Amino acid sequence: MRIDFLGLEAFLSIANWGSFHRAAGHLNLSQTALSHRLKKLEEDLGVKLVARSTRRLSLTPAGLELLPTAQKLIDDLSTSLDTLRRQGKEQQERIAIGCLPTIAIHHLPQVLAEFQATHPLLAVRVYDNSVSELIEHVRSGEAEFAVTIVSANRWDLDIIPLIKEPFVLVCPEGHPLAKRETADWQDLAGVPLIRISAQTGNRLLIDDALASRREMMTWRYEVQHVATAIGMVAAGVGCTVVPKLGISTVRVSGVAVVGLRNPSVARTLGIITRRDHPLSPAAETLARMVQSHFRLLPG
């Protein structure tokens, strides 16, 4: 059923002001236009709503019956529109994104500095969480997009691949493997290793790539963050295997970075968004800046 909101607005204004002249002025309409809206509403309903004489204006029984319902309908609509306007304004003033902690530490600040130059008044919330948490932030709409490990089995998410990132060995400078450019996984047999929590997604990639050979590894310690593992390596506690971008952009004293092969293990980073939910203009701009940043990284 079509609802004549303009007609209802005209009717309510006439009822509240008790005068066609004052009601027309309130709506910034001519009296002719106001009368036309009321007449159209009355014709649609098939009843007279307003009785007019040369001396006074009054509501008909049908008008009196419609008045409270029409007032509530317009009030509810006005409240809903105000809420949507407020939400729209908040979205224009603030966006939320997600990002893996290693990327958030070493790469996101540079992108946000560039973004701030073009959006100086916009607030940005960053969820620097695990892969599973980032996916839920995007699915729930808490974050407009996230930079994370991507896989093809996310039916409800759209994916923009960014970079394929290899895993590397990080060992103490005095370790026998420290002076080598590359090492085989079998060289790590018996070496005390520090692994990152399964929640990060990195552990599953490594386990899948190694298959049965993972039984040769001595995973003596487990931590939640790459930075913690690297700090333990610097202290000589053991070695760790981390994504290259987690250490390649910073200098850490006391550690060496060695390539790994046989097998080579890598993860694909990308931007995930909710399918069929377009990004806000500001988030779209920031996502493009993230893509540009990763395109400029050395291979």
Contacts 24+ apart (CB under 8 A), 102-106: 102/226, 102/227, 102/242, 102/243, 102/245, 102/246, 103/147, 103/245, 103/269, 104/128, 105/227, 106/245, 106/246, 106/248, 106/249, 106/250
pLDDT digits (tens, 9 = 90+) for 130-152: 888 999 999 999 999 999 998 76
pTM score, whole prediction? 0.65
71 phi/psi in degrees, rounded to 5: -65, -45
Bridge partner residues of 168 (DSSP): 242, 259
What is the Cα–Cα distance from 167 to 262, expressed in whole angstroms?
12
Which structure tokens are listed for 46? 């098939």
Other beta carbons less than 10 A from residue 167's beta carbon: 21
DSSP states of 211-232:
GGGGGG-EEEEEES-HHHHHHH
Bridge partner residues of 158 (DSSP): 273
Confidence of residue 234 (pLDDT cuts 50, 70, 90): very high
**pLDDT > 80? residue 246:** no
The number of CA neighbours under 13 Å toward the Cβ of 69 is 6
Going by C-alpha positions, the residue among 140, 135, 113, 138 that lies closest to residue 124 is: 113
Lowest pLDDT segment from 156-165, 215-224, 240-249: 240-249
Using H for helix, E for strand and C for coil, what is the string for 86-148?
Answer: HHHHHHHHEEEEEECHHHHHHCHHHHHHHHHHHCCCCEEEEECCCHHHHHHHHHHCCCCEEEE
Peptide bond before residue 281 is cis, with ω within 30 degrees of 0: no
CA dihedral 162, 164, 169, 173 (to 10 degrees): -60
Q: In the block, which residue shows the tokens 């790459």?
A: 226
Angle between helices 31-45 and 5-17 (to 10 degrees): 120
> What is the predicted pLDDT for the residue at 269?
93
pLDDT digits (tens, 9 = 90+) for 90-110: 556 789 999 998 899 889 999
For residue 3, count CB atoms less than 10 angstroms from its CB and return exposed for 0-12, middle for 13-18, buried for 19 or more: exposed
pLDDT digits (tens, 9 = 90+) for 53-77: 767 888 999 989 999 998 998 888 8
Bridge partner residues of 193 (DSSP): 219, 239
In sign, the C-alpha dihedral spanning 205, 199, 242, 129 is positive
> What is the predicted pLDDT for the residue at 204?
80
> What is the predicted pLDDT for the residue at 88?
67
Lowest pLDDT segment from 53-57, 117-121, 155-159, 234-238: 53-57
> What is the predicted pLDDT for the residue at 152?
64
- In the predicted model, what is the mean pLDDT of the chain? 88
**pLDDT > 60? residue 249:** no
What is the Cα–Cα distance from 42 to 11, expressed in whole angstroms?
9
> Which residues have C-beta within 8 Å of that of residue 225, sequence separation ≥ 6?
101, 196
